Amino acid sequence: MRLKSLTRNTRIFVAVSLLSGFGGAAMSLTAGVWVLDLTGSSALAGLVGLGVFAPTLAGPLLGAAADRLPRRALLVTTALLTAAALLLLPLVRTGRDAWLIFAVMLVYGVSYVLVDAAESALLPAAVAAAELGAVNGLRMTAQEGTKLVAPAAGAALYAWHGAWPVAALCATLLLGAATLYRLLRLPPDPPAPARRRVRARDGMAFLRADRPLRTLVLTGGVTIGASGFVTAAVYETITGDIGLPASFAGVLGSAQGAGSIAGSLAAGALLTRRGPAVTGALGAALFAASCLGRLVPAGWAAVACSVLAGVGLPLTLVAAMTAVQLRTPGDLLGRVSATASTLLFAPVAAAIPLGSAAVTLGSAPPLLLAAAACAGTAVRLLVTHPPGGGQEAGGRVASSRAARADRAAGSGRPWRRSRAMPPSG
């Protein structure tokens, strides 16, 4: 998608991704460094990230808010409340006040889940269905691009005058995002149905009934979880197999960031031409190849594999979330999107400690296990969800499913998926 062809709403969503991505990356790094300086505890500093990721486990419950409340108003309110929470950080003076940093980062984590659910639910109303894949790719490109600059900028501000300038900058960026949400041009909200029960478990029920979509989401969850599972193995390959200092991980991180930008840019074109199934399977296969390549004890191989991993991960993520947007009825999008996010990102929390335990056997076992898991899910995805339906098929599926969902709501019975329904992608 060329920049000149971007619609007004697309430009706004990409700009929001830039603002929120920059602020989130800068604040996440600064919070950890700040806790370390205040307490002297690396363990406590490492737990800062828990506040950001823990709310993902409550994704189905938080996603229900995106289906109960007006979505634009929810986005604006969430941005404003998060900015207000950041402005409380100057109250932190000593290590005893560190709990406030954890509380603010927990607010940040809740806001991520709410914003992801509300934006995913709002996008199909703001952007043409044929452009969803390209728009999602551009948004991820913007987010990944900020990660190359924002941590360094946050660290520089913190070194200059402490955490307050970083908090003020992030709050200002959130205010900018809230303003941009107000500028979106959206169609009028459809009239609410006569009987509308919004239940958090409906998101999981929808995914459970839609086998192709469920497989696509689980493929992303396995691949992203595998990236956490091999974290310790990557360190082992650097220091044990290759014999380089641990600081070489910074080079690999930059290489993966560059690959992520390339993968995010390519995701839109792949989704348009080949569909979500091929895109997601390709991403999982590329990550599997990167795990196998790390068995080569050479620095150049480690860099190349980091680039390969960076390309693969966003392909699986963008494919899964675009398919969710295309195949889900509008009144369920908040819950299904939040539930999908939980399935995509929650496995990392368990995979990291499991990978740390597995690396006691050496770097090869966790790398081989991760490669086998990702390759297996890629094959299963293509078997379960063969290409050929395209995005238009996904739109027809969503429309058909929306009608049945309305009928099911009227009868008080959960809807059932037809086996004859054509797959998307």
What CATH number is associated with residue 325? 1.20.1250.20
Residues 268 and 368 in one domain: yes
Q: Where among 127, 162, 184 does a domain terminate?
A: 184
pLDDT at 409 over 70: no
Count structural domains, the chain: 2
Q: How far is CA 311 from the centre of its chain?
A: 15
Q: Where among 184, 208, 224 does a domain terminate?
A: 184
The mean per-residue pLDDT over the stretch 254-258 comes to: 82
Residues 202 and 153 in one domain: no
190 assigned to some structural domain: no
71 assigned to some structural domain: yes
SS (H, E, C) the chain: CCHHHCCHHHHHHHHHHHHHHHHHHHHHHHHHHHHHHHHCCHHHHHHHHHHHHHHHHHHHHHHHHHHHCCHHHHHHHHHHHHHHHHCCHHHCCCHHHHHHHHHHHHHHHHHHHHHHHHHHHHHHHHCCHHHHHHHHHHHHHHHHHHCCCHHHHHHHHHHHHCCHHHHHHHHHHHHHHHHHHHCCCCCCCCCCCCCCCCCCHHHHHHHHHCHHHHHHHHHHHHHHHHHHHCHHHHHHHHHHHHCCCCCHHHHHHHHHHHHHHHHHHHHHHHHHHHHHHHHHHHHHHHHHHHHHHCCCCCHHHHHHHHHHHHHHHHHHHHHHHHHHHHHCCHHHHHHHHHHHHHHHHHHHHHHHHHHHHHHHHCCHHHHHHHHHHHHHHHHHHHHHCCCCCHHHHHHHHHHHHHHHHHHHHHHCCCCCCCCCCCCCC
pLDDT at 232 over 70: yes
What local confidence, expressed as pLDDT, does residue 331 receive?
75
Lowest pLDDT segment from 53-62, 78-87, 129-138, 386-395? 386-395
96 assigned to some structural domain: yes
189 Cβ neighbours under 8 A, 6+ residues apart = 70
Residues 281 and 341 in one domain: yes
Confidence of residue 247 (pLDDT cuts 50, 70, 90): low
123 assigned to some structural domain: yes
Q: Where among 157, 184, 211 does a domain terminate?
A: 184
Residue ranges making up the domain that contains 56 = 1-184
Residues 146 and 201 in one domain: no
Residues 164 and 23 in one domain: yes
Q: Of all residues in the chain, what percent carry a pLDDT higher than 90?
A: 28
Residues 95 and 235 in one domain: no
Residues 172 and 203 in one domain: no
Residues 174 and 203 in one domain: no
189 assigned to some structural domain: no
pTM of the entire structure? Answer: 0.70
Residues 145 and 21 in one domain: yes
The mean per-residue pLDDT over the stretch 135-159 comes to: 82
Residues 372 and 417 in one domain: yes
Residues 96 and 160 in one domain: yes
What local confidence, expressed as pLDDT, does residue 404 receive?
42
What local confidence, expressed as pLDDT, does residue 293 receive?
95
What local confidence, expressed as pLDDT, does residue 412 receive?
33
